[in-house]
Structure 1
């Protein structure tokens, strides 16, 4: 614009029509300088001169911080805005669909499993002992150990679930007899000093063989008489554990003695260390049961939630209510956080970063201001000619 103005001034005497581009250049130059000044004054002192009401962002950082915090609080962190945005999204259904995917549930399970060692390390031994004394031990004192044992046995025996355990026990007994046949012969010979050693060995061998053959029969025959007798004895034991006052008193006495021994022996620290060791070892295993169970539980939770629209509706309602409470409770703290962060910025550095971030748009402001000024200059020149004519 300055170059154009200079050319027009030099040649206007010879070319009178240059009065029009001269008017454009004069006003455009003024507009360019004015917009340059206005833009620069927002961020710093023009030409480094401490002109009043310049470097506006730098000089008014605290006021801008307060205004920004209040603006966010009043226009973004309102319950109406937050709940309005969240209510249009079925969060429970989305969460169910996300959890059903094994990879997602596994990712959450990995995070939980990886955090367990750190959580356990952060537990103080005395705090753990106090937790046991206040919450766990009082519950154990009132526990009906006899009835619990009876219920556990009942669950195990329902549907003949205990039969594989019985088979395993019979196989273990056979292995013990086979392994310790020599010891049995020695004991029998020591108890029967007046019989020949060969006869003792023969009797013990036949006895062991007979018992093993009987064990084979019991394992092979699911309806064997010994199985029936064992089941009857087990059912009778379950009934006694669930109903007998004698067993109940014995269970309470046993529990009381165990708890007294636990407290007197200060085993809380040892228990916590044992839990830490086992959890760390389990978490770092390649096929971790903790990770697998947690992932399976999350997948099952997602499937159950996906099949229950009523639960989804309740969960969404709870989530929106909770979000409303959080917004009401913490909106002021978030606003103060924004204000504090902005106040803590270095004023000059913040102003420079804002200017650099806006960048190209500031250049267009200057360019547009130049052309707008030039157009206004031409219009004013035209009006002047009309009024003077």
Structure 2
């Protein structure tokens, strides 16, 4: 039986079939060479008395036959028992399959997965360039964006089913409870007041008041209020209309001055008020206590939890709708974002270096932490292979080279036979 045939299956590659054919041819040539040596020996041995040259031919053929047979035995003993005989120290691979698996796994872990060669190899790989080139392709980024959108509903459902969402909600609430509101509010207001941006609020207030003073219903209400406050005698002379005109005129004039003058006293007073309020937020224990109490009351209300749940459900429904929509509102921005990330990686050497270091570090750590498991996996795989399949696979891949050992053994044996025959003749002559 041709044991290498067990390594060939219907789905084997063309290369495996070619290797099997080449192995068969090499075996046939090696066997034919032994038969040739035997035939030459049988034919030439009786002719030694006729001429001394036949003695050299016979010596070569005999020694070559012995060398070829010895190497045939050694090669066969590596894989199986020669002629099926229970000879000790034969069928080496099949009898040591478990030890070979352990040794192979340990060898891979110590030499292939060692920290130094793994780190050196990872440093040769420009991960950031590969990512940037991949993402810079609009088609690939569009496919990735579509894939992400398809995965989002499943991810959100998994989060809901795993209990992760309530856990995250509790964690967010716990973190919010630790936040000191007064310093946070003071910091936000300080950032907002940079470049006098808070004056825009005053501008909006001034514009609203001017619009209010031009509203007939507002003016009638103010006039009625003035009429109620004035003595009856004054109302006979329509003093309420006079007072209203003066009041509206003065207010309009003041508001116009505030709107045009960037350094108006009212604006300076507004600046002082905001600055003082920020200082009190930072330094006043009373303000801090009030804000913390307000925060605690808000977080304790069921409406906040219901609002968070409603936001989650709305987000989930929106994403599910987007995945079913032929014209997604998210896909195009997400695709553009991925393309922009790819371009930024191309244009930013420091970012590329950081990405490469980060990816290499993650892979190095993973390999270092799991190389023992990888070695065990390799060993278990080798041990689980059927012995005949294992031998057939090895023979299919290295059997042809082993057959050349038989050729070498035949040639070297023949040359050794010639040398020994010549030495024998020289000793006889001497």
TM range (shorter): 0.5 to 0.7
Preserved CA contact (<8 Å) 1:128 1:272: no
TM-score by length of 1: 0.63
Preserved CA contact (<8 Å) 2:298 2:304: no
Divergent runs of 4+, >4 A: 136-144, 255-259, 265-268, 270-278
- Asked if 1:357 is matched to 2:393, the reply is no
TM-aligned CA deviation for residue 310 of structure 1: 1.8
1:26-66: per-residue Cα shift (whole Å, max 9, x none)?
A: 11111111111111111111112221111111111111111
Distance 2:394 2:155 in 1: 42
- Asked if 1:76 is matched to 2:112, the reply is yes
- Asked if 1:383 is matched to 2:419, the reply is no
**1:382/1:88 CA distance change after superposition, 3 Å:** same
Distance 1:387 1:366 in 2: 31
TM-aligned CA deviation for residue 308 of structure 1: 1.4
Moved more, 83-92 or 52-61: 83-92
Q: 1:260 aligns with which of 289, 302, 313?
A: 302
Question: Which residue number in structure 2 is paired with residue 62 of structure 1?
Answer: 98
Distance 1:57 1:321 in 2: 39
Distance 1:126 1:95 in 2: 32
TM-aligned CA deviation for residue 84 of structure 1: 1.4
Q: 2:339 aligns with which of 287, 299, 302?
A: 299
Preserved CA contact (<8 Å) 2:159 2:165: no
Preserved CA contact (<8 Å) 1:72 1:335: yes
Question: Which residue number in structure 2 is paired with residue 37 of structure 1?
Answer: 73
Preserved CA contact (<8 Å) 1:137 1:259: no
Q: 2:138 aligns with which of 93, 102, 118?
A: 102
TM-aligned CA deviation for residue 137 of structure 1: 5.1
Distance 2:143 2:428 in 1: 82
Q: How does 1:1-389 map to 2 (within 5 A)?
A: 1-125=37-161, 127-131=163-167, 133-136=169-172, 256=298, 260-261=302-303, 263=305, 268=309, 278-389=318-429
1:240-271: per-residue Cα shift (whole Å, max 9, x none)?
A: xxx9xxxx99xx79x949961475x7995x87
Moved more, 19-28 or 80-89: 80-89
Distance 2:105 2:87 in 1: 29
Preserved CA contact (<8 Å) 1:96 1:303: yes
Distance 2:320 2:413 in 1: 74
TM-aligned CA deviation for residue 136 of structure 1: 4.6
Preserved CA contact (<8 Å) 2:59 2:418: yes
1:77-125: per-residue Cα shift (whole Å, max 9, x none)?
A: 1111111122233332343233222233234334433433433343344
Q: What's the secondary structure of 1:51's corresponding residue?
A: coil
TM-aligned CA deviation for residue 21 of structure 1: 1.7
TM-aligned CA deviation for residue 277 of structure 1: 5.2
**1:266/1:292 CA distance change after superposition, 3 Å:** closer
**1:97/1:6 CA distance change after superposition, 3 Å:** same
TM-score by length of 2: 0.58
In structure 2, the gaps of 5 or more residues are 1-36, 193-199, 201-276, 278-289
**1:366/1:118 CA distance change after superposition, 3 Å:** farther
Preserved CA contact (<8 Å) 1:125 1:272: no
1:192-250: per-residue Cα shift (whole Å, max 9, x none)?
A: xxxxxxxxxxxxxxxxxxxxxxxxxxxxxxxxxxxxxxxxxxxxxxxxxxx9xxxx99x
Preserved CA contact (<8 Å) 1:4 1:22: yes
Preserved CA contact (<8 Å) 1:12 1:19: yes
TM-aligned CA deviation for residue 346 of structure 1: 2.0
Preserved CA contact (<8 Å) 1:26 1:374: yes
